[in-house]
Structure 1
Amino acid sequence: MTIQPAKLTDPAVRAFVTAVNAHDRDAFLSLLTENATMADDGSDRDLTEWIDREIFTSNGHLDVDNESQGGRALLAHYRNDAWGEMRTRWNFTIEDDGRISRFETGQA
């Protein structure tokens, strides 16, 4: 059963999923710290290149199946026009100001 984005526990993660699914790049970027980093399948990636390729130019969409660690870890079906749909995991590091300083994703 999918968890609706509005019902996700952590406010930053909720906003992240909402921005991805709305294809709202500006809202997405506003959630990140200035020096935010990310990794895909265990390898650090250039965040700007990755989000443009994997989310914003390829219609990325997250359907969250499960959350843990206070809402900062997700299991989700992720789909985009480049890769189709796959089961993925997402982990978030959130700073005291509520912004995301790192996220890691990969196949689950």
Structure 2
Amino acid sequence: MTEIDLPRPIAAFIVTNNAHDGDALLALFAPGATVADDGRTHGTEDEIRAWIKSHLTDPNIVITPKSYDGHRLVASGDGDFPGGPLDFAFDFETQDDAIVSLSIEPV
């Protein structure tokens, strides 16, 4: 598979997620960041921390990038959940090497 050139905060999100390090994942988000996933928007540090735990680290999600178009990463997600692996679109907004907004939807 060809390596995809990703901006630093997005590449860090993938590497940190795949290491299942919830604290390091949380540190990638800017103050006031939001995450939209599964029909909910998480907008506080505690909400994002809980989302990371329930949606990424506890199910041991491993994200494998497939394509990137400047803000939207399409990737395969696999882990301890039924029906995987599944493809997801991750729409990132970043500023100063931090994630300010992340929206995730199945593709």
Shorter-chain TM-score tier: 0.7 to 0.9
TM-score, structure 1 as length reference = 0.83
Contact map agreement 2:22 2:49 (CA 8 A) in 1: no
| 2:53 paired residue number | 52
Is 1:87 paired with 2:80?
Answer: no
Structure 1 residue aligned with 2:34, among 37, 40, 46? 37
Measure, in 2, the Cα distance between the counterparts of 1:30 and 1:67.
23
- State the identity as a percent: 27
Counterpart in 2 of 1:15?
12
Show CA shifts across 1:49-85 (max 9, x none). Answer: 221111111101101110111xx31111111212432
Distance 1:37 1:16, change over 3 A: same
Note closer, same or farther for the CA distance 1:57–1:73 as it changes in structure 2 (3 Å cut). Answer: same
**1:47: Cα distance to partner?**
2.1
Which stretch of structure 1 is more off in the superposition, 83-92 or 11-20?
83-92
**Following the alignment from structure 1 to structure 2, what is the Cα–Cα distance between the partners of residues 82 and 8?**
28
Deviating beyond 3 angstroms after TM superposition, the runs of 4 or more aligned structure 1 residues are none
TM-score (norm 2): 0.84
Length, aligned pairs only: 102
Runs of at least 5 residues in structure 2 that lack an aligned partner in the other structure: none
Runs of 5+ unmatched residues, structure 1: none
| Alpha-carbon distance change, 25 to 8 in structure 1, aligned in 2, over 3 angstroms | farther
**Matching residue of 1:25:** 22
CA RMSD of aligned residues (A): 1.7
